[in-house]
Amino acid sequence: MQAGRALQVAIDHHRTAKRPLVIDAFEDYRRVLDNKDVDVVVVGTVDHWHSKIAIDSMLAGKDVYCEKPVTLTIREGQQILETQKKTGRIVQVGTQQRTEFAKRFATAAAMVREKRIGDVAEVNICLGGSRICEPLPRATPPKTLNWDLWQGQCQHKDYRAEKIVRDQSGWGAGFPFGRAHRYYRWFYEYSGGKLTDWGAHHVDIAMWALNKLGDDIGPISIEPLEVVHPVPLDPKGMPLAEDRFNCAVSFKVKCTFSDGVVMCVRDTAKELGFTNGIMFAGRNKSRFLVNRGKLVGAPVEGLKDKPLPSGSLGSLYIDDPTEGDQYGKPGYHMTNFMECVKSRNTPASDMLSHHRMLNVCHAINIAMRLQRRVVFDPKTERFGDDRLANSFIEREQRKGFEIGA
C-alpha cells in the first residue's frame, strides 16, 4: 500500500516538474542500488526478502522505507540495527497505524499513557486466523517468476500451486492457492502467519501504548493456551508437510509482563464482541476498543468533557510528527518518512522500536510452534537456557543469499 503511495509521489513530482516519468524495472534489486541517483528505497517485496534488501540498501547509501515485518528472526533485526548504526541511514517501518487512520491508534495510546482507564490490567489483541488449504500439487513456475531468486535466503522447496481459483474472499481472492505471491505469508518458511502480518500492526500499538518498547521491561512469560496448526509439527516445531499452509490457524497466547500486565494475542475474541483490533482494560474495569474503523468505549466518550492534554499525542514519538494538517490522514506515514530523509529526525515507526516489538511476535510464534511456555528476555534477546527456543533466534540462510553476501 505504501509502495503504491511512494509511486504516486514520484508521479506527482514529475508532473509538477513537467518531466516525463520513465520507470525502470529490474529482476535484480541490486541494479537499483547501483544507481547513484537513487536516494531512497521502498521495500515492498515478499517478507523473507525485507531484511536483506534493507541492509543492502543502507550499505549502498540509501535511506529505507520497509514494509512490515522487517524481519523473520530476532537475529535479522540485530543485523539491521547494526547496519543502521554503521551507516547512519533513516529507516521507517510501514506500521502506519502510528500516524494514520484518523489518529485513532495514537489517541488510544495516549489514553493509556494518560491513565484514562487507570492502571492497565489486560490487553486483548485479535488478529484473525491464517488460511488453510488442501494439499497443493507440484507445478511449473510461471515464466514471469524466477522461482529460485524468489525463494532468496529460504531453503529450496518445490513450487506448488493449484490450477483452479477457489471460492474465497479477502486478501488473495481471485488467485489460485500456491507457495508464492499472495499466499506466502501462510508458510513459516517465508513469513510468520498472522503474528508478522496483523501482529506487526496491533502488537505494535499495544506495546507502544503500554510503553514497553524498551529493553528494561523485564522477562516476558509467553504461554500458548490454544493453538491449532493445519499440519503436524515435529518436536522441534518444524512442519512435517510442505504441500499445505503451515502457520497457526487459530490461537490464544497469554503474554505476562514482569509488572503483571497481561497481553492476550488471539485469532478472535467473539466473547468480547470483536474479531480484529485491540481492547485495553483497566484494573478499574473500564475498557475501550480500537481498530482501523473505530475507537469506542466509555473512556472514549469521556474525552468530550476531558480532552487529552495538549501535546499528549506528540509525546508518543521520539521526534514529534503531529504538526500540520496531514497527520492522521492516509499517506502521511510516507510523508513522515520523506520529511525525516530531509531533516534526519527519527521517523514515527523507527527500526529499534519495531525490532523490540517484533521480537515479541517472533517469541509468540516460537511458543506456538513448540506448543509450550517460553520466557523471553528483551534485554538479552534470548530465552534463557531454553535450547530449543533459542534455536529459532536465527536460521540457516541459503548459500548466495545470506545477509551480508
Query: Would you tell me how many other CB atoms lie within 10 Å of the CB of residue 137?
Result: 12
Q: What are the Cα distances from residue 116, in Å, to 209, 256, 300, 315?
A: 12, 22, 9, 16
Band of residue 221 on the pLDDT scale cut at 50, 70, 90: very high
Rounded to whole angstroms, the Cα distance separating 348 from 91 reads 10
pLDDT at 169 over 80: no
Band of residue 394 on the pLDDT scale cut at 50, 70, 90: very high
Q: What are the Cα distances from residue 370, in Å, to 47, 222, 258, 313?
A: 22, 11, 22, 39
SS3 239: strand
* Per-residue pLDDT tens digits for 55-86: 999 999 999 999 999 999 999 999 999 999 99
* CB within 8 Å of 70: residues ≥ 6 apart: 50, 51, 54, 76, 77, 80, 93, 351, 354, 355, 358
* Per-residue pLDDT tens digits for 268-305: 998 999 999 999 999 999 999 999 999 999 999 999 99
Which own/partner contact pairs does 45-49 have at CB distance under 8 Å and 24+ positions apart?
46/150, 46/180, 46/181, 46/184, 46/190, 46/191, 47/72, 47/184, 47/185, 47/190, 47/191, 47/192, 47/196, 48/72, 48/151, 48/152, 48/153, 48/154, 48/184, 48/189, 48/190, 48/191, 49/152, 49/153
pLDDT at 2 over 60: no
Band of residue 170 on the pLDDT scale cut at 50, 70, 90: low
Its pTM stands at 0.94
Q: Give residue 167's pLDDT.
A: 61
* Per-residue pLDDT tens digits for 3-27: 566 667 667 766 777 777 778 889 9
pLDDT at 172 over 70: no
Q: Give residue 7's pLDDT.
A: 67
* Per-residue pLDDT tens digits for 146-166: 999 999 999 999 999 998 777
Rounded to whole angstroms, the Cα distance separating 46 from 190 reads 8
In 3D, which of 103, 92, 165, 96 has the Cα closest to residue 353? 92
Residue found by looking up cell 544507481 in the block: 35
